[in-house]
Every structure is written in structure tokens, then in C-alpha cells.
């Protein structure tokens, strides 16, 4: 595990963008596992800038997102599909047909989960998985629990997670979906490289996840067992 302490958010975003960019330069048909949330926005903005300058191209890249809220359509302003389109995909040269986000409106969610796992396998797995981290140690929407959930699954979001994400729903908890579909820990752990980005407010949870015991009560702690994990954070060193 390599932990890089960046000076500030901008420095963190640029350092992380350098790693994603190197991945795409070295393998232009990379399969990128992508994340949402506030933290990666600076990284996406940096990649957009470099793509516009023609320094990199995403033409051959395939992407697989971590998660999606149950019940939100692709057009819903707070769906992760919409977030990805607006914050990244619409602004780079990626072929949208090669971008995958779970369908939170699928009638048969179990079938959607199984199909999502098959999709990742048919792409040959993830070359690089980008992650943020929740204050309770969730990655994607893998919430704390009694065991590590390996496959793509439907999850009931914790109060803590819904409260943290209410800021994207006009601060109204009522509007925050109660469930989500999330990639499980198997494909995250099988990714050939994992890149975790975290802001200054995540110091406590990073400390517990990366230096404490590996436990499903802190899902991100499983990353300690990953052979190629890079963490870029802009908090006080620990
Ligand atoms: C969300 C997402 C996660 C993200 C986390 C942290 O719930 N499902 O993928 O890493 O919360 O978000 P933020 O970066 O906004 O703190």
C-alpha cells in the first residue's frame, strides 16, 4: 500500500489524475472502475482538461461505475448515471456505449446485479478501480455489516450514508433513496490497481480503515489486502 499525502484538494486531484492518465496512456483500451461523490470531481475536471488539450484520449476506454441509487432513472438529476454524464463522459471523447452504470430502475434488481457482475467479467475485469470513501468506511455503497459482500448487490443505505448524501438532495433526507445497487468487493479487490482518493475530512476513517484491523464493520479495511493500492489524500499525515 502506498499512501501519498497531497498538499490540498487540487494537488490530490492532479496527482490522482496523473495515475489515471498514465493508465490510459499505457493501455488505451483500459477498463476503468469509476466512482461518484464530491471527492473525484477535481480529478475528473483535470482529466477533461488534459483530454481537451489532446494529451490523452478515452476513445478506447471502457468504464464500469461502482453504484447507482435504486429508483432513480438515468435522467434524474441526482442519479449517478447523470452525474457521470455531466461531470465526465459528456465532456471527453469516450464512446458512451462503452460506459456502464448499474440500472437502479431495473424491474428485477437481482437479475441486474448478476448481469452487472457478468458484464465486468466479460470486459476482463478492472484495470484500475477509482474509489472514494464514506465516513463509515463504505466503498461504492458497500456498507458496514457482519460480512464482506463480494458480488454486486442491492443494499439498504445506512442513516449515516443517507445523511451525508442529503446535501445533494437539497438537504432533504426524505428525497434520498433508501437503497442502492453496488458493485461488491470481489471485483474491487480483483482490480489490477486500486486508487483511493480522500479529502481532509476523511482522516479518521482512513486511519481506521488502513491502519486498524480488517473487518466488515469497516468495508474499506479489506483494501489493506490489495496488492496494488494507492491512496491519495489531502489530510494531515498519519
Ligand atoms: C457516496 C458514494 C461513494 C463515495 C462516498 C464518499 O455515497 N457511493 O462511492 O466514495 O459516498 O463521497 P464524497 O466523496 O462525496 O465524500
pLDDT in tens, 119-166: 999 999 999 999 999 999 999 999 999 999 999 999 999 999 999 999
Domain 2-233 coded CATH 3.40.50.1360: yes
DSSP letter for 65, please: E
For residues 208 and 218, the answer to whether their CB atoms sit within 8 Å is yes
Q: Which residues of the chain, if any, have pLDDT below 50?
A: none
**Residues with Cβ within 6 A of ligand 1?**
35-39, 66-67, 132-134, 140-141, 161, 165
Summary count for the chain: helices (H), strands (E): 7, 10
pLDDT at residue number 64: 98
The pLDDT of residue 6: 98
Q: Give 231 Cα–ligand 1 centroid separation in angstroms.
A: 15
Query: pTM for the whole thing?
Result: 0.97
Å from CA of 140 to ligand 1 middle:
7
Distance CA 151, CA 50 (A): 34
Ligand 1: which atom is nearest the Cα of residue 165?
7
Closest CA to 61 of 123, 13, 113: 123
The preferred substitution site among 101, 129, 132, 142 for testing ligand 1, maximizing ligand atoms within 8 Å of CB, is: 132
- What's the grid cell of residue 200? 481532509
Q: Which of 66, 133, 159 to mutate to test the pocket of ligand 1 (most atoms within 8 A of CB)?
A: 133
pLDDT of res. 47: 98
pLDDT at residue 65, as a whole number: 98
Q: What residues are annotated to the active site? A: 67, 136, 138, 143
Residue 164 CA, ligand 1 centroid: distance in Å: 9
Q: Is the CB of residue 36 less than 8 Å from the CB of residue 67?
A: yes
How far, CA to CA in Å, does 14 sit from each of 17, 40, 45, 72? 5, 10, 9, 31
- Structural domain spans, the chain: 2-233
Distance, CA of 81 to CA of 65 (rounded, Å): 9
Mutate to test the pocket of ligand 1, among 13, 33, 37 (most ligand atoms within 8 A of CB): 37
Select from 204, 181, 205, 213 the least CA-distant residue to 117: 181
- Please tell me the predicted confidence (pLDDT) of residue 102: 98
- Nearest-CA residue for ligand 1 atom 5 is 134
Question: Given this model, what pLDDT does residue 217 score?
Answer: 98
Amino acid at each position: 500500500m502506498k499512501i501519498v499525502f497531497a498538499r490540498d484538494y487540487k494537488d490530490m486531484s492532479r496527482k490522482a489524475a496523473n495515475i489515471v492518465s498514465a493508465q490510459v496512456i499505457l493501455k488505451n483500451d483500459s477498463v476503468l472502475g469509476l466512482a461518484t461523490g464530491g471527492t473525484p470531481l477535481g480529478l475528473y475536471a483535470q482529466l477533461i482538461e488534459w483530454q481537451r488539450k489532446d494529451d490523452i484520449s478515452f476513445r478506447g476506454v471502457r468504464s464500469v461505475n461502482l453504484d447507482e441509487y435504486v429508483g432513480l432513472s438515468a435522467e434524474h438529476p441526482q442519479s449517478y448515471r447523470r452525474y457521470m454524464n455531466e461531470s465526465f463522459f459528456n465532456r471527453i471523447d469516450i464512446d458512451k456505449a462503452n460506459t456502464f452504470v448499474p440500472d437502479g430502475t431495473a424491474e428485477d434488481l437481482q437479475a441486474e446485479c448478476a448481469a452487472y457482475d457478468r458484464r465486468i467479467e466479460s470486459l476482463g475485469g478492472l484495470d484500475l478501480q477509482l474509489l472514494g470513501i464514506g465516513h463509515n468506511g463504505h466503498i461504492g455503497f458497500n456498507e458496514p455489516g457482519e460480512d464482506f459482500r463480494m458480488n454486486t448487490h442491492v443494499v439498504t443505505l445506512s442513516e449515516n450514508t443517507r445523511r451525508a448524501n442529503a446535501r445533494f438532495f437539497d438537504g432533504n433526507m426524505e428525497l434520498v433513496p433508501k437503497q442502492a445497487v453496488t458493485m461488491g468487493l470481489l471485483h474491487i479487490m480483483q482490480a489490477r490497481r486500486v486508487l483511493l482518493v480522500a479529502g481532509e475530512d476523511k482522516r479518521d476513517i482512513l486511519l481506521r480503515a488502513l491502519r486498524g484491523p480488517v473487518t466488515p464493520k469497516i468495508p474499506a479495511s479489506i483494501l489493506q489486502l490489495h496488492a496494488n493500492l494507492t491512496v491519495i489524500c489531502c489530510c494531515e499525515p498519519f
